Amino acid sequence: MNIDELCINTIRGLAIDQVQAANSGHPGTPMGLAPAAYALWNNVLNYDPANPLWPARDRFVLSGGHASALLYSMIHLAGIHDVTHDGKVEQKPALTLQDLEQFRQFNSKTPGHPEYRHTAGVETTTGPLGQGLATSVGMAIAQKWLASRYNQQGFPLFDYHIYTFCGDGDLMEGISYEAASVAGHLKLGNLVWVYDRNRISIEGNINIAFTDDVAKRFKAQGWHIHEVKDANNIADFQAKLNEARQASDAPSLVILDSIIGYGSPNKAGTHGVHGEPLGPDEVKATKKVYGMPEDKTFYVADGVKEHFAAGIGKRGAEASQKWNALFAEYKTKHPELAQEIEDIIHHRLPKGWDKDIPVFEADPKGVASRASSGKVLNAIAKNIPWMVGGSADLAPSNKSWLEFADAGVFQSPDYPEGNGTFCGRNIHYGVREHAMGAIANGIALSGLRTYAAGFFIFSDYMKNPVRLASIMGLPIVYVFTHDSIGVGEDGPTHQPIEQLAHFRATPGIRTIRPADANEVVEAWKLAMGQDYNHAHPVILALSRQNLPTIDRSKYASAAGLHKGGYVVACCGELPEVILIASGSEVGLAMEAYEVLIKEGQKARVVSMPSWEIFEEQPKSYRDEVLPPHITGRVAIEQASPIGWDRYAGPTGTIIAMRSFGASAPYDKLREHFGFTLENVLAAAKEQLKK
């Protein structure tokens, strides 16, 4: 066989052997897609294996993460270097054959689905179908933004493309429609999706559930369509890739007809090769079809690695070296822009990013935390030029619009309404919460700082991408407003009840529900000031209704938010009853506290904006805030009571929501559901009797 066939069959053999060794996995898709992966990686992809963090590299996303054995084979054969968690490139391979042999094993570098930062060469964590597609749209948006701001005459620093492999399952997921719609509207000509149309899913031929005319669907969404009738015809596939690469006016979909499990005498083209090993006998029979040694496992033929080194290796090294020389010259001619680029590369914020953040004066009427958040966001974003973000058609309501003079709107220069620019800072996501969440992941993975805004209730649509952001450790800020029954007249469909409990239960997320405008300030400082190498997504749960601005000259500093929970008001000695609350209910607790103090009771108010951060504090601090022997406690929150017993204790009172809300003015809802001064005082006094 010629060298192309040898490389392709080596990829297939490695994928088969990984799955067989683990006795778990998906061999069929790698077997069918090996020719396409080979042609893209070795002949097209602009990527330097020795410098996998090169900023101008093409990105490859495997949306169907179940086919991870394909990606791991490519990483090994391409010779990608390893990268430490804190971003240092090492002079050793990212994946050895021994790593491939440990496929899907505990603590291996080859987990069942690709994981960002876990395996060098993996650009994003994928697994849940459709997520990789939408994330790649975020990467394409980021490239357009970087090019628009930083490319100068004679300095095309950011001209890379994003390539995504997807399958039938990806396109069945609703997020794929949302993401494709965004990409088509924005005319992202740097984006190429390769659709593996093998027509097989776990339950069988996809005709049982999926008969869409995919080409017409994408054409209607403004995409270029290319079709390759035989996945083994790498010349045809590469020609279509080149056509797609040249099409700058719209994203491209390459429809690739493949045979799942290609080469397997008894399983090719069936769902039997989708999600289980071939079995020892079928492995040998298949390798015989490929002309590969039947008795060898994890076999890499002589000349294969050298061929990759002469292809993607040589091409990538030359391109990255040329880029480094170009950037060195760029720094002399455009030093300020170059400094921004270096800050982006190294995940640094510019000096003085927090200099204009407002301080809010005490005010019994106060301001809604969504409104104070909008002011803080604008003050911060004005001083971080590479901060971009948007809302799912709710910016006027959640106050997430960047209003300063040069903020602009991210649109294609061909936007029919005029004034389109790819360097705009405001993104119109439309009513597409699910895609927005994954697109934000792609933007963050490209080095930009980003936020995504919506109503808290609609975070339900975003749970998957937010979860993946937490797994990846991305410092995305989610601005979720209308955080409680304070939504009022919109009723139970729009009033969050269980959402706080969900995000508090999700590892790695920092859920913050600020009590007033100055806690909002501290929440934004915390979210933006994170160390990138140990970052967490931050959820800001913000109110629709006004929150009194606490007099910080009389009560504790809002900086206590950085410890998750803190004593905001106290009698000056050990209390006999502790009122614990978050968000809008802190104001209610403060009202009750003042009454109790006037009556001579020993009371304390604890603001608990973030359980996760509070739990990270030393036990000594937590015991100082909530002395274990003080059992008289009342917890107050307009959400599910689940979890509050950890702070209220076994004998404490929890004033919370035990049902969905209702449609009525907010004051009526507060009264009906028990969030009144009288009810809190009664609970506190009952605790004092114990």
Point out the residues that are catalytic: 433
The number of helix segments (H) and strand segments (E) in the chain equals 25, 22
Distances (CA, A) of 672 to 487, 659, 663, 675, 679: 15, 12, 11, 8, 11
Strand 59-62 and strand 162-167: the pairing is parallel
Helix (H) or strand (E) holding 591: helix 584-598
Helix (H) or strand (E) holding 579: strand 577-581
Distances (CA, A) of 553 to 327, 360, 362, 363, 566: 51, 12, 9, 12, 16
Q: 352 by DSSP, 3-state: which?
A: coil
Is residue 493 within 8 A of residue 46, CB to CB? The reply is no
Q: 505 by DSSP, 3-state: which?
A: helix
Is residue 210 within 8 A of residue 204, CB to CB? The reply is no
Is residue 406 within 8 A of residue 467, CB to CB? The reply is no
Distances (CA, A) of 100 to 25, 112, 296, 522, 602: 13, 11, 14, 45, 64
Is residue 452 within 8 A of residue 442, CB to CB? The reply is no
Q: For residues 637 and 581, what is the distance between their CA atoms, to the nearest angstrom? A: 6
Distances (CA, A) of 421 to 1, 186, 378, 564: 50, 10, 20, 40
Is residue 479 within 8 A of residue 542, CB to CB? The reply is yes
Strand 653-655 and strand 633-636: the pairing is parallel
Residue type, 38: Y
Q: 238 by DSSP, 3-state: which?
A: helix
Length of the chain counted residue by residue: 690
Is residue 78 within 8 A of residue 308, CB to CB? The reply is yes
Determine phi and psi for 100, rounding to 5 degrees. Answer: -65, -35
Extract the tokens encoding 364: 């019994």
Tokens 């952001």: give the residue.
Answer: 469
Extract the tokens encoding 401: 């619009």
Residue type, 145: W
Long-range own/partner contacts, residues 343-348 (CB < 8 A, 24 or more apart): 343/386, 344/55, 344/146, 344/386, 344/447, 344/448, 345/55, 345/447, 347/87, 347/447, 347/532, 347/533
Q: For residues 435 and 425, what is the distance between their CA atoms, to the nearest angstrom? A: 18
The 10 Å Cβ neighbour count of residue 96 is: 13
C-alpha triplet 82, 84, 86: angle, nearest 5°:
145
Q: For residues 363 and 144, what is the distance between their CA atoms, to the nearest angstrom? A: 44
Is residue 540 within 8 A of residue 610, CB to CB? The reply is no
Q: For residues 220 and 120, what is the distance between their CA atoms, to the nearest angstrom? A: 37
Radius of gyration for the alpha carbons in the chain, expressed in angstroms and rounded: 28
